[in-house]
Amino acid sequence: SCAAAAAASLPLLASGALTDDVAPLMVFDKNAHFCLNLMKPICADEAEVVTLRHNDLEALEDLCKTRPRVAYVADGVYSTGGQAPVRELLQLQDKYGLFLFFDEAHGFSTLGRHGRGLVLEEMGAINDRTLIVTSLNKGFGASGGAIFLGPRHNHQRHNLATRFGGPITWSQRINTAGLGAIIASAAIHRSDALPQLQNRLQDNVRYFDELIESDSRGDGLPIRFISIGSEDNTIFFAKSLLEQGFYTSPIFFPVIAKGRAGLRIMIRANLRQEDIRRFATSLNQLKADHE
């Protein structure tokens, strides 16, 4: 899983194994996925850990100016909507040697050539100061996770990841059926079918945005977060929508800050616009009833 990939690689990064044997200052974005934030205590055994406000590039640059090694931990596409400022982060990398760690679970497959995701589409190719973990359970349509490492000393880094990252993943492995799904999905990713599916997804994202307001409206990403605030109301919304045939993911503390709960909506390529319209009618009516 992507969580297992993060658990395998974040402690290695914190130890300095990927930054010339110098433990970096580990900087987590406030909105980084829960599976990344969960690793802070383990990373703190090896390095200093701080948390910055979401996408606070100014504060990040200030840290880069004063610390010899800084590693920034973020999502490419955030599970609660929006994205990392990848281009600006790469500029900080070029200027200060910043190490970048991205969770691309929600960008993988849905974006980029051959589904390589938001970050690699911007970079063109991974470098030695970037590490990406991703899920094969979401857009890829299979199971498992993956770790992308830079090309320098690739054999050495591969050995590090498998020898020293392995114990933290509790001996998880891909089952035979899951491996077959991965192979089949990889073939789709290298065919003409993938861009067609990506275009269909974009059509559905645009249609969704026409009908439902959200902070991420118009960004072209497949995740929408509908802010509700109250944990109780969020659960009520999710339950009411489920009773009408619509699955949503209610998010609340500790995954998100107290009092900022809401619904995570995952738009798919195979949704019919009729179903999106019915969902929008149901959701907007629930919002109106609770205003």
CATH code at position 93: 3.40.640.10
**pLDDT tens digits along 157-206:** 777 777 776 555 555 677 888 899 999 999 999 999 999 999 999 999 99
Q: Please report the pLDDT score of residue 12 as a whole number.
A: 86
Of the residues 159, 185, 211, which one is the last residue of a structural domain? 185
145 and 37 fall within a common domain: yes
Q: How confident is the model at residue 214 (pLDDT cuts 50, 70, 90)?
A: confident
**pLDDT tens digits along 118-171:** 888 888 888 889 999 898 888 888 888 888 887 765 677 777 777 776 555 555
Report the alpha-carbon distance of residue 122 to residue 99 in Å, rounded.
Answer: 16
36 and 109 fall within a common domain: yes
118: CB partners within 8 A, 6+ apart: 76, 77, 83, 84, 86, 104, 107, 111, 112
HSE (CB half, 13 Å, CA atoms) of 5?
24
**pLDDT tens digits along 83-114:** 889 899 999 999 999 999 999 988 888 888 88
Report the alpha-carbon distance of residue 188 to residue 252 in Å, rounded.
Answer: 35
**pLDDT tens digits along 65-81:** 999 999 999 988 877 77
Q: Please report the pLDDT score of residue 3 as a whole number.
A: 79
Q: How confident is the model at residue 32 (pLDDT cuts 50, 70, 90)?
A: confident
- Name the burial class of residue 227, with classes exposed (0-12), middle (13-18) and buried (19+) by CB atoms within 10 angstroms of its CB: middle
116 and 206 fall within a common domain: no
CA proximity to 289, closest of 248, 200, 203, 228: 228
DSSP SS3 for 275: helix
Domain residues for the domain of 11 are 2-185
- Output the domain CATH number for residue 239: 3.90.1150.10
Residue tagged 């830079």 (tokens): 150
CB 103 within 8 A of CB 76: yes
Helix axes 273-289, 231-243, angle to 10 degrees: 140
79 and 108 fall within a common domain: yes
156: CB partners within 8 A, 6+ apart: none
Of the residues 185, 218, 240, which one is the last residue of a structural domain? 185
Domain count, the chain: 2
CB 267 within 8 A of CB 139: no
Q: What are phi and psi of 175, to 5 degrees?
A: -75, 165
Q: Please report the pLDDT score of residue 213 as a whole number.
A: 85
